[in-house]
Amino acid sequence: MTIRWSRLKRVDLVLFIACVLLFTLVPGIDLAVSGWFYDLPTTSFHLGQLQPVQFSYRLFANIHFVLLPLFGLAWLVCRVRGARQGKRIALFLLLSLLAGPGILANIVLKDNSIGRARPVQVAEFGGERQFTRAFEPAGQCDHNCSFVSGHAAMGFYFMALGWIGWGRRGFLFGVMLGSLVGLGRIIQGGHFLSDVVFAFWVVYGVNLVLGALVGLPAPKRLLALGALRERMLVSPAADDGER
């Protein structure tokens, strides 16, 4: 039987749907993961005071103030010099930062979506608000809410390296960086696991769209499916021989 690669190329969509189903059908995952870092005797997320966690929190709350003017200046210089590819890359990095961690994550979702309370605010962890699952309209928060994680989105932003010549390594670097930053926010009681996971999907989706618009293709083997492809993609000749 021949299984062609075209059937697998939208594996990212399948994984996104799986994440949606997982966190909506089994919302206890969020409480369980946050519970690992909640100290019952002190009724606090005390590990959030560790220096590496605090450093990550401060760094990724402010790094965009450096990156935005840097990429804006790079785009201007490339335009003046007529460097088309450089201008394309600078534009992609600038728009990805503005649209992903900026507008979608922090303005549209955190301030104007479901109103989800943060772990430190819910009754299960000593707060007074109600825990609600991802995507559930909650009304537990007016602005700067839990869904999605802005800090994690800023970490995942560095997946953009995969679109500007760093390939899969650059992409995976951004995935790992965003995951570590998101872990720090979970440790602090600032976000649930699903807030971090869907921060990834927000930034990933923005990069896919912007990359296509400005002419920067997604890195090959984006989701590490190269080995799977080699095992599953059977040539017609081999297939005929088996039959």
Show the tokens assigned to 118.
């943060």
Nearest alpha-carbon partner for 184 in 144, 145, 154, 142: 154
Distance of alpha carbon 216 from alpha carbon 88, whole angstroms: 8
Number of H helices, E strands in the chain: 11, 0
Q: Which pLDDT does position 9 carry in this prediction? A: 54
- Secondary structure (3-state) at 1: coil
Q: Which domain holds residue 126?
A: 5-242
pLDDT tens for each residue of 46-77: 999 999 999 999 999 999 999 999 999 999 99
**What is the total count of domains within the chain?**
1
Query: What band does 130 get if pLDDT is binned at 50, 70 and 90?
Result: very high
| C-alpha distances in Å from residue 190, one per residue of 3, 25, 81, 83, 214 | 44, 22, 45, 42, 35
Supply angle C-alpha 16, 197, 117, rounded to 5: 120
Distances (CA, A) of 98 to 3, 20, 41, 101: 39, 25, 42, 7
pLDDT band at 129 (very low <50, low <70, confident <90, very high): very high
pTM above 0.85, yes or no: yes
Neighbours of 223 (CB within 10 A): 18
Residue 137 and residue 109 in contact, taking contact as beta carbons nearer than 8 Å: no
Highest averaged pLDDT of the listed ranges 10-19, 71-80, 220-229: 71-80
Q: What angle do CA 96, 97, 103 make, to 5 degrees?
A: 95
Percent of the chain with pLDDT over 70: 87
Give the Cα separation of 165 and 211 in Å (integer).
Answer: 12
The long-range contacts involving 223-226, CB below 8 angstroms and separated by at least 24 positions, are 223/11, 223/12, 223/15, 224/168, 224/172, 225/8, 225/11
Q: Which of 2, 4, 14, 3 is nearest to 223 (CA)?
A: 14
